[in-house]
Structure 1
Amino acid sequence: MPTASATPPPSPLMRKLSAFVALPEADLDILARFHRRRRFFAPDHGLVEEGQPRQSAFILAAGWASSYKLQPDGRRQIVDVQVPGDFLGLRSILFRASDHSVEAVTPIEASEVLISDLLDGFEKAPRLATAILWAASRDEAMVVEHLVNLGRRSTEEGMAHFLLELAARLKLVGLGDETGYDCPLTQYHLADVLGVSAVHVNRILRRLRERGLVTFQDGRVRFDDFAGLVELAAFDTCYLDQDGPILR
């Protein structure tokens, strides 16, 4: 006798938006339509190019990506790292031309989203539109913290803060917790996040490991003293706004 098929697990984006608002079934159906155009990309593939008009946005389903600005001399500043459940290049379909580039860090699976998808979804599901506005606002809040990492926190504090932020974001979509998480970022990625050299990143990670706070080795971040790392970074998750739905 055939068994009923199991309900598919919620997508990372659905899990993320549920931290803000309880979406009705009709809104979830519209959200599911955003995933119609599945795409697969290899590492280092550019999904969005700065200065180019009329580009698509993407919803990251699996893998990691980075958003960055490239200087004329080739230096790169990574302004954010995207994990499953994040939008890639959302501004690229709202602005006349993209103000940043997006590149795959790992092999990724993503859903292509057109401006017509967003406008149609927002018209039919204002509650979903509010949830996506929350996600975009949360991304902006993270960029503010990254600016503080660059300008006012020490390099050790900035590294600690960034690793803790990733842990909180990954926990929201079921990919990390207070013990640690898998992380494909290289020391060169971390250097471009913090605005230092890869050699300096190596020193920072070694100092944090020697202090018994965190070990980043073989693609895994392991928190050896989670509370101590939180204290070092003065890390407060309030800006991530993910402690439970505000709207029900």
Structure 2
Amino acid sequence: MISSTEVVVKKLKCYIDLTNKELDTFVSLPSRLVTFEAGREIVHEGQQAHKAFILLDGWVSSYKLLPDGTRQIIDFQIPGDFLGLRSLLLRTSDHSFEAVTDVSIAEVSAQNMFSVFAESPRLASAVLWAASRDEAMVVEHLVSIGRRSAIVRTAHFLLELGARLNLIGVGTKDGYPCPLSQYLLADALGLSAIHINRVLRQLREQKLLTFQKGIVRFDNFEKLIELTDFHVGYLDQDGPIIKN
């Protein structure tokens, strides 16, 4: 049983109004709860586990390592996010997951997931929505790394994190708690830690955004939106598409 489904349900309800029966089915989905300390690897690239996970508490990074030891972070997962859904269909995991903070995770086997999909097609469509939304974010990150300037991509990424966290009741339009180091941000944004430091200083000096002591503060939210041309539509969290 999942110990707390609140954040997961908040996310899925952006797509569909789940019935009480569907909620009960979802709660019974995981086979066990596991915890990992910060810095621990959860899944490594190439692992043949055929399991997925639901992040209940804490932050996780998903990444790929290159032969020279450098790392490209694909994204950060926050409470309510799924980890490794593709691993249920692919024979091996195509990237790794590591705990950024201490985390609590619900483990889901392929057999349990497919049984639930067969029993509840509406719930299956909600999980497919979550996977599609994650893909939309990866596309946006690709655009940032390929075409946006360092200051725009950094601000855009922090705005995106804010919108995602706001959905699950963390933070406000003014800002949010963020455990990410400059090294983690650098690996996510394709920049060096020195460059990230410089960009954050520029954003602070321009009185747009401040990221200090684990807190992201939006000093001028409207100008940040204008600078980054940030549109929340790709996160698709305006309300349920499918209703009871």
Please say if residues 50 and 89 of structure 2, whose CA atoms lie closer than 8 Å, have aligned partners that are also in contact: no
Residue 122 in structure 1 maps to residue 117 in structure 2: yes
User: Distance between the aligned counterparts of 2:52 and 2:212, measured in 1?
Assistant: 32
Name the structure 1 match of 2:194.
Answer: 199
Q: 1:99 aligns with which of 94, 112, 115?
A: 94
Deviations 1:178-236 (A, max 9, x none): 11110000000000011111000000000000000110000010110011111111000
User: Distance between the aligned counterparts of 1:154 and 1:50, measured in 2?
Assistant: 30
Q: Which runs of 4+ in 1 moved over 3 A?
A: none
- SS at the partner of 2:64? strand
- SS at the partner of 2:97? strand
Name the structure 2 match of 1:34.
Answer: 29
Structure 1 unaligned segments of length 5 or more: list them: 1-7
Please say if residues 4 and 56 of structure 2, whose CA atoms lie closer than 8 Å, have aligned partners that are also in contact: no
AA matched with 2:52: A
Structure 2 unaligned segments of length 5 or more: list them: none
- SS at the partner of 2:46? coil
Instruction: Tell me the TM-score normalized by structure 2.
Output: 0.96
Name the structure 1 match of 2:156.
Answer: 161
Name the structure 2 match of 1:14.
Answer: 9
AA matched with 1:104: A
Deviations 1:112-155 (A, max 9, x none): 11101110110111100000000000000000000011000001
Instruction: Tell me the TM-score normalized by structure 1.
Output: 0.95
TM-aligned CA distance change 1:55 to 1:10, over 3 Å: closer
Name the structure 1 match of 2:166.
Answer: 171
AA matched with 1:181: Y
Q: 2:204 aligns with which of 192, 205, 209?
A: 209
Deviations 1:72-121 (A, max 9, x none): 01000001110000011111222100110010000001101110111011
User: Distance between the aligned counterparts of 2:242 and 2:198, measured in 1?
Assistant: 44
Please say if residues 43 and 104 of structure 1, whose CA atoms lie closer than 8 Å, have aligned partners that are also in contact: yes
AA matched with 2:40: H
